[in-house]
């Protein structure tokens, strides 16, 4: 069986969290060059993908923090979520295994 399908419960959430993390990283980098209301389609995609996470992080961060810092905190919260997923599946002994490729 294909390992991606066999361990979907690890790969799918890990991929989604990673995609949002790297979109946040792109949004952070672009925010140094772009205004917040920029109409560029790449910027709008980054904002649309990351806004749900940013809104959640904004709820638990002090209001005095600038938006850029909230983006950085959101990135680190998602990194913690990926590590928590890894730790949870490791504790349940459900991590994908490495098998020999034969030779």
pTM of structure: 0.86
Helix axes of 67-91 and 41-60: crossing angle, nearest 10 degrees: 80
Whole-number pLDDT of residue 3: 75
Could you give the maximum distance between any two Cα atoms of the chain, in Å? 59
**pLDDT tens-digit series, residues 61-88:** 998 999 999 999 999 999 999 999 999 9
């Amino acid at each position: 069986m294909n390992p991606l399908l066999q361990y979907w419960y690890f790969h799918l959430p890990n991929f989604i969290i990673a995609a949002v993390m790297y979109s946040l990283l792109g949004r952070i980098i672009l925010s140094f060059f772009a205004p917040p209301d920029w109409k560029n389609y790449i910027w709008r995609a980054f904002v649309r993908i990351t806004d749900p996470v940013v809104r959640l992080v904004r709820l638990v961060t002090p209001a005095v923090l600038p938006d850029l810092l909230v983006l950085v905190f959101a990135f680190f919260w998602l990194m913690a979520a990926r590590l928590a997923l890894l730790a949870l599946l490791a504790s349940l002994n459900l991590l994908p295994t490495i098998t020999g490729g034969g030779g």
